[in-house]
Amino acid sequence: MADKKKSPKGDSRSSNSPVRTVPSILKRKGQKSQKLVALTAYDFTFAQLLDSTGEVDVILVGDSLGSVVQGHKNTIPVTLEEVCYHTRCVVRGVAHALVVADMPFMSFQVSPEQALQNAGTLLKNGGAQAVKLEGGRSMHETIARLVAVDIPVMGHVGLTPQSYNRMGGHKIQGRSTTRRAQTSADEVFEDALAVEDAGAFAVVLEGIPAELAARITSALSIPTIGIGAGNDCDGQILVTHDLLGLQPDFSPKFVKRYREMGEEVMTAVREYASEVRSGEFPSRDHAVYEGPDVSIRLARKS
């Protein structure tokens, strides 16, 4: 997506909002007064709303769509074709943010060449400007292969949702005392170093102790974007549905619900249903009439 389209006429986007690029994201490393703001989107409407604020630096078309859009218990069933479709929807609504597409489970793990082909599909057919993939040391060769042909890569270490079965669920990683299913603090640290060494332009740190995230952020020269990783990262990301409280029964510790939109939606639906059944909706204000002159003509014909 070499050229960003102009904002649609009449929308609320700030015309002064800069276009975010991979180089501009890299320059935000260590700028505590300008921390990176990242959110997820899976469709045109939400993407346009997020981008219209002028405040969002990165919009991730995450494989979290498997849970919040498709209703799966984890991200593993999501396919490349599904991510590509949702990415196409998102880019149509974005003029300023950097759009990053997630590489879903088994779209990059087989070989660097498989990853290259599929990442290329997300950029060429999906319209993404970068891809995100999970894994650290084991993905060093793959990340380097993508970067070598100018496919920007955002890494993801710590709690990697595609490792759901190994971890036995979404479990905090990087504790000093670990169990077999968990990754130790030193291992997460080495994973982050490997992602940077391979050429990634940023890395997501998910579900790790705040102290470890601070240590990694200090050690890396690329921005870290935290989710459930404390306040010392170079930026933060949340699933937009969680931020808005669209799922009333889902509220993990790392999520701050800035609104309770799930309750608002249900309230609006109940009001609509009540007015339909009472005949209050649609009122004259919400109906189309041809006007008195048409009524006169019809009366003369009769």
Residues whose CB is less than 8 angstroms from the CB of residue 3 and which lie 6 or more positions away in sequence, other chains included: none
CA distance 205 to 229: 6
Which of these is catalytic: 113, 206, 275, 290?
Answer: 206
Helix (H) or strand (E) holding 277: helix 261-278
Residue 82 annotated as catalytic: no
Q: In the numeric block, which tokens belong to residue 177?
A: 């005392």
For every residue of 118-147, DSSP letters joined together read HHHHHHHTT--SEEE--BSGGGHHHHHHHH
CA distance 153 to 204: 11
Residue 272's region, left for phi above 0, alpha for psi from -120 to 50, else beta, is alpha
184, 208 contact by CB (below 8 A)? no
Q: Please give the structure tokens belonging to residue 286.
A: 């919400």
Neighbour tally for 183: CB within 10 Å:
25
Q: Give the contacts of 253 (CB within 8 A, at least 6 positions apart).
A: 228
C-beta of residue 39 within 8 angstroms of C-beta of residue 56: yes
Q: Which stretch of DSSP H or E encloses residue 268?
A: helix 261-278
Q: What amino acid positions are annotated as catalytic residues?
A: 206
